[in-house]
Amino acid sequence: MKKLLVANWKMNPSSEAEAVRLAKASDERGVVVCPPFTFLSQVKNALKTADLGAQDVFWENPIPGGAFTGEVSISMLKKIGVSHVIIGHSERRKHLIESDEMVNKKLRTALAFDLKVILCVGESLSVRKEGIPAAKSFVKKQLARDLVGIENLKTQLKNLVVTYEPIWAISAGLGTGHPDKPEDAVEMIKFIRELLTKPYWPNPKVIYGGSVTSSNVARIFEYHEIEGALVGGASLKAEEFKKIIRITSQVK
Ligand code: PGA
């Protein structure tokens, strides 16, 4: 597949059997399946070609371990076959009060230890209501804070994917369920790519997230600048996600 599809299961599904069933339905090259921690091993065993991602990781990575109650380290994730990690999702920023500084520490440690990072950035509805220039200004500042110091990680930058995920476009929770218009999303994505290209690396990978479904994915991927999608709700329905994979794999 030319495009990257990241399946963010969030705090789902409710059983191991369902996790395994979903994993098998999502098992395509170019897909990264991100279950909750409790199903990582079972999903790993079910996957033959898709990659395995975690939804978060801690910023300290002492080996063999450390006094960090409730946290999971990069080494622990890698040991069970995790290759990717989502960092800075808006739900964590909001509900867990995850700051840009925390996001930055996680991102730098994950990259330094060779995990592939899917960083999420995006503005709230109130910012977007002020218009695209306000959204650009918000994302520019957020990215600058999240990426402090990454110029020192040059060789690992190929492992960083930035997801433009406007918070309001998410299908549940903090979102409205309305996807961004592809023409607006692509404008933001081009802007993000420009911001990253000069100071950081030549070919930054930038994808879109927010209410991606089988009905809109073809339209979104008409833009070659949108190099993939982070899919939440629609990745929890096996048939729907298979459709998304099928449509995506036809993109030239
Ligand atoms: P959604 O979620 O596809 O359900 O909008 C995307 C996400 O929040 O990762």
* 8-37 pLDDT per residue, tens: 999 999 999 999 999 999 999 999 999 999
Task: Give the separation between CA 20 and CA 23, rounded to whole angstroms.
Answer: 5
Task: Give the separation between CA 182 and CA 188, rounded to whole angstroms.
Answer: 10
* Structure tokens that stand for 204 in this block: 């930054």
Instruction: Give yes or no for a cis peptide into 64 (omega within 30° of 0).
Output: yes
Task: Give the separation between CA 68 and CA 236, rounded to whole angstroms.
Answer: 31
In this structure, which amino acid lies at residue 246?
Answer: R
Please indicate whether residue 122, judged by its CB atom, sits closer than 6 Å to ligand 1: no
Active site residue 28: no
Reported as a pLDDT band with limits 50, 70 and 90, residue 148 is very high
Contacts of 124 (CB under 8 A, 6+ apart): 167, 168
In Å, how far from its chain's centre is CA 61?
Answer: 21
Nearest to 171 by CA among 3, 10, 1: 10
In this structure, which amino acid lies at residue 172?
Answer: A
Mean of the per-residue pLDDT values for the chain? 95
> Mean pLDDT, to the nearest integer, of 79-108?
97
With a pLDDT cut of 90, the percent of the chain lying above it is 88
Q: Return the residue whose CA atom lies nearest to atom 3 of ligand 1.
A: 232
Active site residue 178: no
In this structure, which amino acid lies at residue 153?
Answer: L
Question: Cβ distance 79 to 65 under 8 Å?
Answer: no
Give the model's pLDDT for residue 156.
82
pLDDT at 199 over 80: no
Give the model's pLDDT for residue 90.
97
Question: Cβ distance 110 to 79 under 8 Å?
Answer: no
pLDDT at 225 over 90: yes
> Mean pLDDT, to the nearest integer, of 196-204?
75
> Mean pLDDT, to the nearest integer, of 127-136?
97
Q: Name the one residue in this structure whose structure tokens are 């700051």.
A: 99
Give the model's pLDDT for residue 103.
98
Pocket test for ligand 1, best of 5, 86, 212, 220 (most atoms within 8 A of CB): 212
pLDDT at 201 over 80: no
Question: Cβ distance 178 to 231 under 8 Å?
Answer: no
Question: Cβ distance 225 to 186 under 8 Å?
Answer: yes
Reported as a pLDDT band with limits 50, 70 and 90, residue 134 is very high
Work out the end-to-end distance of the chain between its first and last CA atoms, rounded to an integer number of angstroms.
Answer: 9
Give the model's pLDDT for residue 64.
82
Question: Cβ distance 200 to 244 under 8 Å?
Answer: no
| Options 89, 91, 98, 123, the catalytic residue | 89
Stated pTM of the model: 0.96
Give the model's pLDDT for residue 5.
98
Give the model's pLDDT for residue 44.
98
